[in-house]
Structure 1
């Protein structure tokens, strides 16, 4: 009987093959997973799992008396875990926990301690976000880069970030890196896109776990304008310019902290996210601190949805440290950005937030009236 032929797994040499990268990224991932799953099933059919015999009482003390649970293979793992690291050890721990060999508390014993940690973290984030980290001197310093070129680059980065399905925090860190480099280093016009994609690469390594783009994918999205070596060189250059200081607090993180106190439902939260991401593409908005941007987004959403009070003196002022008068100017500028989106040349954010995943909040229209103020907003 002819032995069953088992397909060969992909190895490092396969990724050096140029033909492997002719297909889109999702097709390469699916083909790799299909071969791995087929191989795993073939092994299980050839060698059925056997129940091991425990040899001593010591082993029975930390293993279940029924024997080992079969550890999940890659083919049995959910898709996000298959794309990332081998988490079979984690799966084994999950099996042990499911058999109640380790008893975990059903609720936290000391909630006061948790609240103390939470308050300390929020205080630290607000202290780092009480002032804008930017000097608003980027385009006085740059000789070839203009504000419109920045908007074009960031609009393209929003689209690339969405296509790669990266974490929202990655986008905020990417744009923060771009703006900080613009204030510290003169960038030639021909290299501006290179620095942008290198900033995305750095932010992905900082924030992502399983979805860090491959360098060749970044070369592809740049339409082969820059080789792999230039992207890696630009990455090192940016890190050197920033002196390895990449840690920053974004309005997205503060929004996630404040939304529980503000009692935002899912649609209002998505609308708040849309407002702060619109602010990313407008250079004049970097004069506001992250704390003000997150607070102004919540305040404007309350005005649009006619939620009273728009800014609670007891709750929102106490957690943000900002009064209504401190955020009203920023909220008005956000409102103007929202009203002017139909006339904007760059629409990656509008397309992104028009998807059902984001509850189509970009389709909200606010009529602009001559005597309009924040008290009369509605949709």
Structure 2
């Protein structure tokens, strides 16, 4: 069939299967844990952002060209013509205005009723807008963006159910130092087997909640000697697992600070290095029995606030995330003043290192894949106090 006069033949070359085009090769997707992939296989904020499955399926963006029709070309008037026309319009407007003023006298507007002044304290303050931090991931089926807010509200409710009492008093054979040694060993296990960070936090919670209800005798010397060489039989391991689950009535969906920390950092748009520093602070508290009874969400928020301050990013709000301040308070449920006492305790813990002989956490976060955040200098206590007063 012969081609029309104005038609042009366009050939498109499709890329072969198995090869990426230039756009795919030059793409630079956001990678949050590219440096931690080897030691931490789980991504802290989900998989890389995917393209939406459905793009713009309409053709409204295409220019529709009708063959055989040409639009008339309009000649723009010169400057002199435009100036003369504008002068004429202005003169006519002035004449019409004078005529209308002669015909109709000015009408006085009715006096508005005087209202009593509203007390200043009753005037509602302008509520700043809260950003929807999940809208960017609505097209990602792995992010569960539609249910994220409900999930974390549910976790906040479950926090109240898992508040730990001071169980160490009724454990005559266990001390806080022994618990710290156990947690230090658990950190090494998590790192060596490249387990998820959530697994470590949940394991520590399970130990605490189990010890609340059951008195546990410490292992003897022989057990420690064989702990790395099949010290226990398979039947004994299964029996202990069944004892833990039955004691806790299989309710092991315990909120942990690690999950809250990931979401709060997303609200603050914190960098991966700042988030890793906050995770280091949070993991340091696992060994300390005094922090076991802290609310997981409050502990996570305090670790993030201290990390932002240490990175010279300000407080809760910080200058960098000023626009995100309502978002932080909305999603975390905490104001900056609510976190100040815990932030000071965390900085004290980082400064004086009471567990200097237990080095698993510090060794782990001194590695370059964790940005060597364990080597960051702690803040001066007086300087931190001054910063917290102003935020």
TM norm. shorter chain > 0.5: yes
1:136-175 matched pairs, under 5 angstroms: 136-175=165-204
Q: Distance in 2 between matches of 1:303 and 1:149?
A: 32
- 8 Å contact 1:126–1:320 — kept in the other structure? no
Distance 1:306 1:192, change over 3 A: farther
**2:201 aligned with 1:178, yes or no?**
no
1:357-376 matched pairs, under 5 angstroms: 357-366=369-378, 368=380, 371-375=382-386
Q: Distance in 1 between matches of 2:195 and 2:273?
A: 21
Q: Secondary structure at the match of 1:373?
A: helix
Residue 108 of structure 2 aligns with which residue? none
Q: With CA pairs under 8 Å and 6+ residues apart, which has the higher RCO, 1 or 2?
A: 2
Q: Deviations over 1:109-137 (max 9, x none)?
A: 995997552222222222223x4723332
Q: Distance in 2 between matches of 1:374 and 1:303?
A: 11
Residue 234 of structure 1 aligns with which residue? 240
User: What TM-score, normalized to structure 2?
Assistant: 0.58
Q: CA deviation at 1:361?
A: 0.5
- 8 Å contact 1:144–1:187 — kept in the other structure? yes
Residue 327 of structure 2 aligns with which residue? 315
User: What TM-score, normalized to structure 1?
Assistant: 0.60
Distance 1:115 1:153, change over 3 A: closer
1:324-343 matched pairs, under 5 angstroms: 324-341=336-353
Residue 348 of structure 1 aligns with which residue? 360
- Segments of 5+ residues of structure 2 without an aligned counterpart are 1-17, 19-36, 38-51, 57-134
Largest Rg, 1 or 2: 2
- 8 Å contact 2:366–2:373 — kept in the other structure? yes
Distance 1:192 1:174, change over 3 A: farther
**2:54 aligned with 1:105, yes or no?**
yes
Q: Secondary structure at the match of 2:250?
A: coil
Q: Distance in 2 between matches of 1:190 and 1:182?
A: 15
Residue 252 of structure 2 aligns with which residue? 246
Residue 263 of structure 1 aligns with which residue? 269
- 8 Å contact 1:341–1:350 — kept in the other structure? no
- Segments of 5+ residues of structure 1 without an aligned counterpart are 1-68, 70-79, 81-102, 198-218
Distance 1:132 1:239, change over 3 A: closer
Residue 147 of structure 2 aligns with which residue? 117
Q: Deviations over 1:233-268 (max 9, x none)?
A: 111111111111111111111111111111110110
Q: Distance in 1 between matches of 2:276 and 2:303?
A: 10
Name the structure where helix makes up a greater proportion of residues.
1
Residue 287 of structure 1 aligns with which residue? 293
**2:297 aligned with 1:296, yes or no?**
no
CA RMSD, aligned part only?
3.3
Q: CA deviation at 1:220?
A: 7.7
Q: CA deviation at 1:346?
A: 0.7
Q: Deviations over 1:10-47 (max 9, x none)?
A: xxxxxxxxxxxxxxxxxxxxxxxxxxxxxxxxxxxxxx
Q: Secondary structure at the match of 2:162?
A: coil
